[in-house]
């Protein structure tokens, strides 16, 4: 064997991360459909007149001018740009690349400008109110999504987010009234959310009951329980039990006076600021701390965690409890901010939207927050447009958050991978 010949090796190392074509195609197809829809707006129901975008709030350092544009021409320009974006995406995919996120984001903003220019023709769009309101509406979704991310990262599917939000809202209303301070209400809301989480954990972790079923049952249970108590007790004594003090707006000096950003982000209630903090803390704790490493290990490979001496079920319980506390705080938004009063089923399935945000955000706290903000925007948009008297029937606008959810989860989430042991109870041995 003095001489040997090396077998020629097929060269395909040049493209290490080829994307499966079928998944990659979703983005250009979705972009194409949206482009077509916007084009149809002017093709079939062109609206004359000019649209005004109002950017100023009266407390800014300086006032940005209003921007007024001709409606149809703007939409036409937007359609051309959208088509260009779609083409770019298709071109990238045909070369085996992925459509970058910034392209999708820019596309979405453009499409939204086009839609608003059409829908609000002859009127003016309050941009600040639209965005600021979105944040306020997204608060329970963000808290819920953070709770969902934590639970699922530890391996427990937290379907009971809706129950935690609703029970939190209920507890906040009662204790906020009885204690006489919204802070008392907030603490009660968190404990209520934690309680729901513990019940979920008791069945799902200790007794291996199917987590999806327990979660859904808990949601229905909370609806039933709060509706019953509301009808029997709260409705009888609204002033003693269902009239909590509410958190007021706290404008942050300086930051709150930056045009556009200030009024949108920094003239909000304390709950919104707590939300900012919660996102940062959860992201930091999950990725940068010993606790987070262990939580992720337990959600990915509980047996491996067990063999290095981590108590799997104890970790899952504590994580789920923290998730419940966070989601409960989200519930407080319903009764301690704008309408200081509890109403039956007042979450309207927001917990499920938060769950969609968890998946859309690929089980990452920051991405899930952005997804929740998107859903908040969709909700607020329907409200703003109905006030403006848009040509779209209001029933359609009410569907918007849910349509956005479906498009986002089905169309734009690539091959996302949940934690490997998500939903799997851990049995020793």
Partner 1 sequence: MTLELRGITKRFGPLVANDRISLTVDEGEIHALLGENGAGKSTLMNVLYGLYQADEGELVLDGEVRKFAGPGDAMAAGIGMVHQHFMLVPVFTVAENVMLGNEATGFAGTLDIGAARERVREISQRFGFDVDPDALVETLPVGVQQRVEIIKALSRDARVLVFDEPTAVLTPQETDELMGIMRQLRESGTAIVFISHKLREVRAIADRITVIRRGAVVGEASPTATNAELASLMVGRPVELTVHKEPAQPGPDVLVVRDLRVLDDTGHTHLDGISFSIARGEVLGVAGVQGNGQTELTEAIMGLQSHVRGSIRLGEHELVGRSVRKVLDAGVGFVPEDRQVDGLVGEFTIAENLMLNRSHGKPFVSAGTVRSGVLEEFAQRKLVEYDVRASGIQAKANQLSGGNQQKVVVARELSRDLSLLVAAQPTRGVDVGSIEFIHKQVVATRDSGVPVLLVSTELDEIVALSDRIMVLYRGQVVGIVPADTPRETLGLMMAGERPEGTAA
Of 123, 153, 296, 367, the one binding partner 1 by CB under 8 A:
296
Antiparallel, parallel or unpaired: β 124-126 and 267-269: unpaired
Of 29, 36, 90, 293, the one binding partner 1 by CB under 8 A:
293
Helix (H) or strand (E) holding 267: strand 267-269
Q: Which residues pair with 51 in a beta bridge?
A: 69
Residue 95 interacts with partner 1 (CB under 8 A): yes or no:
no
Write the burial class of residue 175 (CB in 10 Å: 0-12 exposed, 13-18 middle, 19+ buried).
buried
Q: Please spell the DSSP secondary structure of 30-85, one letter per residue.
A: HHHHHHHHHHHHHHHH---SEEEEE---TTSSSPPPPEEEEHHHHHHHHHHHHHHH
Contacts of 176 (CB under 8 A, 6+ apart): 182, 184, 185, 186, 188, 244, 245, 246, 335, 336, 340
Largest CA distance in the chain: 98
Of 67, 255, 277, 304, the one binding partner 1 by CB under 8 A:
304
Residue 7 interacts with partner 1 (CB under 8 A): yes or no:
yes
Cα 319 to Cα 325: distance, rounded to the nearest angstrom: 10
Residue with smaller CB distance to partner 1, 169 or 321: 321
Of 248, 309, 395, 415, the one binding partner 1 by CB under 8 A:
309
Cα 141 to Cα 136: distance, rounded to the nearest angstrom: 10
Of 273, 276, 291, 426, the one binding partner 1 by CB under 8 A:
291
Residue with smaller CB distance to partner 1, 54 or 301: 301
Residue with smaller CB distance to partner 1, 202 or 291: 291
Interactions with partner 1, residue window 177-216 (CB under 8 A): none
Residue with smaller CB distance to partner 1, 26 or 301: 301
Residue 415 interacts with partner 1 (CB under 8 A): yes or no:
no
CB of 289 vs partner 1, minimal distance in Å: 4
Q: Are 98 and 55 in contact (CB under 8 A)?
A: no
Residue with smaller CB distance to partner 1, 248 or 309: 309
Number of CB atoms found within 10 A of residue 342's CB: 27
CB of 368 vs partner 1, minimal distance in Å: 17
C-alpha closest to that of 133 among 379, 337, 387, 390: 379
Stretch that binds partner 1, among 17-25, 143-151, 236-244, 345-353 (CB under 8 A): 17-25
Q: Are 271 and 329 in contact (CB under 8 A)?
A: yes
Of 14, 48, 232, 307, the one binding partner 1 by CB under 8 A:
307
Cα 425 to Cα 415: distance, rounded to the nearest angstrom: 24
Residue 26 interacts with partner 1 (CB under 8 A): yes or no:
no
Render the burial of 257-292: b for 16+ CB within 10 Å, e for the rest. Answer: bebbebbbbbbbbbbbebbeebbeebbebbeeeeeb
Q: Is the dihedral of CA 379, 105, 273, 258 positive or negative?
A: negative
Residue 12 interacts with partner 1 (CB under 8 A): yes or no:
yes
Residue with smaller CB distance to partner 1, 61 or 290: 290
Residue 25 interacts with partner 1 (CB under 8 A): yes or no:
no
Of 6, 14, 58, 95, the one binding partner 1 by CB under 8 A:
6
Residue with smaller CB distance to partner 1, 249 or 311: 311
Residue with smaller CB distance to partner 1, 246 or 296: 296
Residue 428 interacts with partner 1 (CB under 8 A): yes or no:
yes
Stretch that binds partner 1, among 125-133, 188-196, 227-235, 289-297 (CB under 8 A): 289-297
Q: Are 72 and 48 in contact (CB under 8 A)?
A: yes
Tokens of 1: 């064997």
Cα 39 to Cα 404: distance, rounded to the nearest angstrom: 19
Residue with smaller CB distance to partner 1, 237 or 314: 314
CB of 428 vs partner 1, minimal distance in Å: 7
Stretch that binds partner 1, among 18-26, 118-126, 180-188, 327-335 (CB under 8 A): 18-26
CB of 283 vs partner 1, minimal distance in Å: 13
Chain residues binding partner 1 by CB under 8 A are 1-10, 12, 15, 18-22, 96, 288-294, 296-297, 300-301, 303-311, 417, 420, 428-429
């Amino acid at each position: 064997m003095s001489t040997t010949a090396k077998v020629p090796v097929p060269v395909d190392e040049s493209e290490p991360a080829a994307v499966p074509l079928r998944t990659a195609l979703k983005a250009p197809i979705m972009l194409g459909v949206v482009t077509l829809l916007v084009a149809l707006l002017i093709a079939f129901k062109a609206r004359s007149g000019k649209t005004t975008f109002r950017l100023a709030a009266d407390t800014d350092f300086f006032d940005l001018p209003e921007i007024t544009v001709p409606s149809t021409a703007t939409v036409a320009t937007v359609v051309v740009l959208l088509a260009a974006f779609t083409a770019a995406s298709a071109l990238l995919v045909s070369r085996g690349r992925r459509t970058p996120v910034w392209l999708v984001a820019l596309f979405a903003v453009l499409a939204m400008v086009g839609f608003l220019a059409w829908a609000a023709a002859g009127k003016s769009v309050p941009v600040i109110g639209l965005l600021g309101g979105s944040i306020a509406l997204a608060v329970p979704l963000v808290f819920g999504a953070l709770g969902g991310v934590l639970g699922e990262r530890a391996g427990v599917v937290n379907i009971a987010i809706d129950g935690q939000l609703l029970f939190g809202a209920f507890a906040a209303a009662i204790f906020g009234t009885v204690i006489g301070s919204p802070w008392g209400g907030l603490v009660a809301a968190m404990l209520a959310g934690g309680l729901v989480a513990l019940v979920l954990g008791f069945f799902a972790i200790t007794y291996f009951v199917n987590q999806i079923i327990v979660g859904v049952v808990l949601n229905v249970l909370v609806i039933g329980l709060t509706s019953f108590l509301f009808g029997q007790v709260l409705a009888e004594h609204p002033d003693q039990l269902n009239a909590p003090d509410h958190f007021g707006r706290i404008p942050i000096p300086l930051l709150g006076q930056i045009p556009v950003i200030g009024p949108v982000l920094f003239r909000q209630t304390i709950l919104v600021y707590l939300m900012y903090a919660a996102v940062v803390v959860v992201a930091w704790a999950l990725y940068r701390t010993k606790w987070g490493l262990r939580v992720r290990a337990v959600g990915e490979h509980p047996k491996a965690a067990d063999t290095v001496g981590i108590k799997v079920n104890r970790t899952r319980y504590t994580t789920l409890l923290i998730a419940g506390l966070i989601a409960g705080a989200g519930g407080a938004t319903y009764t301690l901010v704008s309408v200081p009063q509890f109403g039956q089923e007042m979450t309207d399935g927001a917990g499920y939207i938060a769950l969609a945000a968890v998946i859309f955000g690929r089980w990452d706290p920051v991405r899930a927050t952005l997804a929740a903000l998107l859903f908040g925007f969709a909700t607020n948009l329907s409200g703003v447009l109905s006030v403006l008297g848009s040509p779209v029937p209001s029933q359609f606008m009410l569907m918007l958050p849910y349509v956005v959810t479906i498009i986002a989860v089905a169309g734009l989430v690539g091959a996302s991978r949940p934690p490997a042991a998500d939903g799997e109870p851990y049995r020793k041995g």
